[in-house]
């Protein structure tokens, strides 16, 4: 029996359902709060938290989130996402388009390390089953992780930095937050043990990087792993926008990855004729 | 005469040039500041400002920017960008991909009104040539603007809201900021006169909307017009991310724009046979 | 010891290496063939094959590929990719931008079924270890597949079509091609057995769909699985472009997923006041 | 008075309206033709034409379109779109995502020259008002065009090629098509006169490039200017896909635009301390 118009309309009205925002003429409610009460009263990181999780965080929680957001905004034009943003501008794209092509590239490898590190730290936490973090459990999970996922441990080691100055600073900040009772510090301890375990195994220091410490912070604050990638994107978007804007001021048309004087290498078949 | 290797290397090194970020082993400088000094010490809006403009703003300036960033985060799943983000998730895209497809759509019509309004307000300011904002000059520029660009005045009127609660609140905030000496208030006054002029002409109130008041605020704070679009994207990205995340929690596969019970309309040629 | 300029230049020249295209002043070679010999002499599907695989196919192979490319161009505006393309145009995006946001959505769920089906058919082929395709082996692999990947079998069943007219036609075409010796028909036989096995298990026909039969065809023609997704994208891009263009002719601004008369459902917290 | 459910349903059914594709259970009609009649019977270029314009072209028209589609598939990894596609793959993006970020970059400057050239040739055609193409009218329109749009004439000149081998070949093909009565050749003649006029003015040859001759061909075949960009994207998508696939086979993670040995240039403020 086919549906009545009333049934169809009811179905259509529930097709798009959200707990985030309620819009009526002259009224915008965010998670229940009138938008005009939020504007000027909550910080931008508090608003990010409210949108993602449904409640306004405490000020000390928001401050820790804010430190992580500030830390990851940029890592220069050799990062593919930044290069893509700048190249896109010289192709004629407006800022939204340049940001889209660049943010798209923040996928598993270029933007997913934080999320993957959160998953690893959670796996270690589960293996600990409530007991104090220990190097033995960390080493066991790491061995299993490497077997399943290969040698790269997300959140540790950096191609440029022997020590990542962002990580050092954020570790200090999260420890201060722990001292004030903002967070438990457990995931940060686990991350530090991962660093130690990797150093033992490799015989050289494999330092925690920005992805590693922000992973710990986001877990301390109760974010699920996929939002680790989301928060990183919100942060790196600032760099992507800034480089798009700077490139637009520098000018340039159809900017290639290297200057024209540096040719690329053709390694295919020698010249040949088409037989038809 | 062809270039020497040394000349080629020099050219290559300047192919990517930036004033934003300096990265050396163990060191990241943002506009000259060591990143570790910024983390935990500047707010996220202050970092956005520093990245885009090269200097850390005063705290009162950053607060005004923050209010504008908080205001524009979301306008619900009937907005194409939000719908795209949610649909993309059900197609299998990770958060970066959903955000990319959605942010891409924040183009001239869906994301450019703020930038266009900034250009309009600047045009009025130039026509005023330093004199006090007057309704006569505003009306003259508006008449010329309509002739060149059509009837839609970016930043004014809203399909949903008779009064935009975000705009009302932000006008109050910018006036407070003006009273404290943070901004001159000139662009806000001009925007208010545009609202008045449109009301007179149409015989009904065409209220300033979120794009109109944020345009005025960004100009008060000294941002160039294209960055109005950029700042809006940073803000709306929060909503785009939140809806992508919510959709991923709701589940769903290949979510169409309407439920399957609501068919679309085919208005093309009747069925016919291919003659071959 | 640091590198000499000559070493750096040599490294830079190999940074971008390709076997596809050789460009010199006044000369463009595609896989070794001068472009001017290809233009007007090879069909578009032959060029696609040459670009992807390095050699020009036989005419009969190209014809089979062409039939598959023709088959998958469109499935209407209820498909998220097509809806995204049309919505994007009303947001101000040019054709490239609308196509980008839409093609991006052809991910694992919305655009990956063909690739996944190719992987499934290959897995069955390997389990057969050179022997004739048999329903028993197919059923065994399917059981294992469901255990690992869940109930959805990519390439079979369709939410709209009891019988997919594209699949019926393509099966006939591939069988003709088999009779002419163009292909072995083995993967098509395997796909037919999958259809039979699913029907037995469910007690109702789960028909092969467009993804299933094109998966078989692409395997018959020797394409690796990831290119199944790539070929589908080339095909569906035609529909995405056509709908973007049609929408641009229809006009419309900021087209939401449903008409404004159909509201969405807010299911979040009731209105509440911010405590600060 | 509010709408009845029946009225709302009627409105919803027309919200998505298309003349392209009619989908019913077991039936897919493309511009009125059953899809099964098209598969195996029309070429891929014929299908592209049918989808975009509503009718199946004559075979000779489709062949000319096909030559243009074949010609523009690739111009190497120094093109930003190709570089973006390859970089995106190393960031973890699947083929759809790499293609999306790349196609997005085919905007006004990198992908719009064909469309712009079509508009220029149409403007010259209108200025001729039906009379025979003459160098005088061409020169007059060009002078006006430069005044309005700047020195760059879309479709003419090339940074790499003194003579574009694709253009030479396509001019020959279109002249053959003209001799057979497929096209009138008028736009090709106009394009040739533009080339002549530019050469006279500059004192050196500014050769017609691939964008110039395909612009003429698409106009000869009756395509509107915006579809010039669309057809170029369909063509270049083949190169974008091929390079994405090749890069995935080469491997690499987070591939920057230049090798790490070639540093970028930081040109911002010297190191300084944050005063707080």
**Per-position b or e across D81-101, b if 16+ CB within 10 A of its CB:** bbbbbbbbbbbbbbbbbbbbb
C-alpha neighbours within 13 Å on the C-beta side of residue C190:
34
Q: How confident is the model at residue B2, as a pLDDT?
A: 81
User: Burial, D10: exposed, middle or buried (Cβ in 10 Å; 0-12, 13-18, 19+)?
Assistant: middle
What residues of chain D lie within 8 A of the CB of B32, using their CB? 268-272
Q: At what angle do helices D113-128 and D225-250 cross, to 10 degrees?
A: 160
Start-end of H helices in C150-209: 165-179, 186-202
ipTM: 0.97
pLDDT in tens, A249-272: 999 999 999 999 999 999 999 999
CA D102 → CA A90, A104, A136, C76, D105, distances in Å?
A: 13, 10, 46, 25, 5
Tell me whether residues C258 and B78 touch, CB distance under 8 A: yes
SS3 D92: coil
Mark yes or no for CB contact C265/A14 under 8 Å. Answer: yes
Q: Give per-residue pLDDT as tens, A148-158.
A: 999 999 999 97
CB neighbours (10 Å) of residue D54? 16
The confidence band for A159, taking pLDDT boundaries of 50, 70 and 90, is confident
pLDDT for position A158: 79
Question: Which tokens is A225 given?
Answer: 């792993």
Residues of chain D with Cβ-Cβ distance to C250 below 8 Å are 17
D80/A90 Cβ within 8 A: yes
Nearest to B76 among A21, A67, A105 (CB): A21
H or E element that contains D100: helix D95-104
Tell me which of B159-173, B178-192, C225-239, D67-81 is least confident. B159-173
Q: State the Cα–Cα distance between residues B73 and B241, nearest whole angstrom.
A: 10
* Minimum distance, in Å, between the CA of residue C199 and any CA atom of chain A: 26
User: Are D16 and B264 an interchain contact pair (Cβ–Cβ within 8 Å)?
Assistant: yes
Q: How many CB atoms lie within 10 A of CB C267?
A: 11
Q: CB of A208 within 8 A of CB of A155?
A: yes
Q: What is the mean pLDDT of residues D112-137?
A: 97
The answer to whether the CB of A53 falls within 8 A of the CB of A61 is no
CB C74 within 8 A of CB C166: no
Predicted pLDDT at B159: 74
Cα of D122 to nearest chain C Cα, Å: 19
Residue C2's pLDDT band, with cuts at 50, 70 and 90, is: confident
Write out the two tokens for A196: 């130690």
What is the Cα–Cα distance from C92 to C71, expressed in whole angstroms?
30
Number of Cβ within a 10 Å radius of residue D72: 23
Contacts of D16 in chain C (CB under 8 A): 77-78, 83, 86
Cα C250 to Cα A137: distance, rounded to the nearest angstrom: 63
Q: What is the pLDDT of residue A1?
A: 57
From C77, C93, C104, residue closest to B97, measured CB to CB: C104
Angle at the Cα of A250 from the Cα atoms of A249 and A255, rounded to 5 degrees: 120
In this complex, do A238 and B48 lie within 8 Å of one another by their Cβ atoms?
yes
Residues 6+ apart with CB under 8 A from B54: B19, B31, D268, D269
- Read off the DSSP letter of residue A27: E
* Chain A residues within an 8 Å CB radius of D254: 79-80, 109-110
Of A81, A106, A109, the CB nearest to D253: A109
Distances in Å between the Cα of D106 and the Cα atoms of A108, A257, C97 are: 25, 16, 8
Provide the shortest C-alpha distance from residue D20 to chain B (in Å): 6
Residue of A12, A14, A59, A98 for testing the chain C interface, max C β-carbons within 10 Å:
A12
Low-confidence ranges of chain B (pLDDT < 50): none
The per-residue pLDDT for D119 is: 98
Which pLDDT band holds residue C105 (cuts at 50, 70, 90)? very high
pLDDT digits (tens, 9 = 90+) for A195-239: 999 999 999 999 999 999 999 999 999 999 999 999 999 999 999
Burial class (CB within 10 angstroms; exposed 0-12, middle 13-18, buried 19+) of A276? exposed
Query: Are A95 and B17 within 8 A, CB to CB?
Result: no
Sort out which chain A residues have CB atoms less than 8 A from D100's CB and list them. Answer: 101, 104
Q: b/e per residue, C197-214, with b = 16+ CB within 10 A? A: bbeeeeeeebbbbbbbbb
Q: Please give the backbone phi and psi of residue A5, each rounded to the nearest 5 degrees, phi first.
A: -55, -40
Dihedral of the alpha carbons of C241, C246, C249, C254, in degrees to the nearest 10: -80
Asked if C105 and B100 come within 8 Å (Cβ–Cβ), the reply is no
Q: Which residues of A touch C32 (CB under 8 A)?
A: 268-272
Residues of B within 8 A of C112 (CB-CB) are 92
* DSSP category for residue D167: H
Output B21 or C158, whichever has higher pLDDT.
Answer: B21
Overall size of chain C counted in residues: 276
Structure tokens at D94: 């699947």
- Verify whether the Cβ–Cβ distance A104 to D81 is below 8 Å: no
d(CA A77, CA A83): 5
Three-state secondary structure string covering A71-118: HCCCCCCCCHHHHHHHHHHHCCCCHHHHHHHHHHCCCHHHHCHHHHHH
The tokens of B179 are what?
A: 């009273």
CB distance D12–B262 less than 8 Å?
A: yes
Q: Which residues pair with D18 in a beta bridge?
A: B266
Residue B87 gets the label, from left (phi > 0), alpha (psi -120 to 50) or beta, of alpha
Could D71 and C96 be called an inter-chain contact, meaning their C-beta atoms sit closer than 8 Å?
no
Substitution target in D264, D272, D276 with the highest count of B β-carbons within 10 Å is D264
Query: What is the pLDDT, as a whole number, of residue D159?
Result: 74
CB contact under 8 A, A81 and D91: yes
Chains that touch A (3 or more CB pairs under 8 A): B, C, D
- DSSP 8-state assignment for residue A252: -
Say whether D267 and B20 touch across the interface (CB within 8 A). Answer: no
Q: Is the dihedral of CA A151, A155, A159, A162 positive or negative?
A: negative
Instruction: Determine which helix (DSSP H) or strand (DSSP E) holds D266, and give its type and residue range.
Output: strand D265-266
Order of strands, sheet of D27-30, starting from the edge strand that comes earlier in the sequence: D21-24, D27-30, D33-34
Q: Is C86 in Cβ contact with D16 (below 8 Å)?
A: yes
Identify the CA nearest to C198 among candidates C150, C148, C130, C151. C151
Query: What is d(CA B191, CA D202) in angstroms, rounded to the nearest whole number?
Result: 49
Residue C25 class from Cβ within 10 Å (0-12 exposed, 13-18 middle, 19+ buried)?
exposed
Domains of chain D: 41-250 (1.10.230.10)
């Amino acid at each position: 029996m086919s549906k009545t118009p009333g049934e169809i309309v009811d179905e259509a009205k529930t097709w798009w359902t959200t707990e985030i925002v309620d819009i009526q003429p002259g009224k915008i409610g965010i998670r229940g709060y009138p938008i005009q009460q939020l504007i000027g009263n909550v910080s931008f990181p508090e608003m990010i938290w409210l949108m993602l999780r449904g409640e306004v965080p405490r000020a000390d929680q928001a401050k820790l989130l804010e430190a992580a957001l500030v830390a990851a905004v940029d890592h220069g034009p050799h990062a593919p996402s930044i290069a893509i943003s700048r190249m896109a501008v010289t192709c004629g794209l407006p800022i939204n388009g340049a940001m889209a092509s660049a943010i798209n590239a923040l996928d598993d490898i270029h933007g997913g390390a934080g999320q993957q590190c959160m998953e690893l730290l959670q796996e270690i936490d589960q293996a600990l089953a409530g007991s104090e973090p220990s190097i033995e459990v960390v080493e066991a999970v790491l061995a299993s992780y490497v077997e399943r996922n290969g040698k790269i441990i997300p959140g540790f080691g950096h191609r440029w930095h022997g020590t990542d100055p962002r990580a050092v600073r954020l570790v200090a900040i999260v420890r201060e937050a722990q001292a004030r009772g903002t967070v438990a510090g457990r995931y940060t301890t686990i991350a530090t043990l991962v660093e130690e375990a990797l150093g033992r195994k490799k015989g050289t220091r494999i330092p925690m990087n920005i992805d590693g410490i922000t992973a710990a912070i986001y877990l301390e604050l109760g974010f699920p792993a996929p939002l680790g990638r989301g928060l990183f994107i919100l942060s790196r978007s600032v760099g992507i926008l800034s480089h798009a804007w700077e490139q637009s001021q520098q000018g340039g048309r159809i900017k290639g990855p290297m200057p024209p004087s540096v040719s690329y290498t053709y390694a295919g078949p020698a010249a040949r004729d088409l037989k038809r």
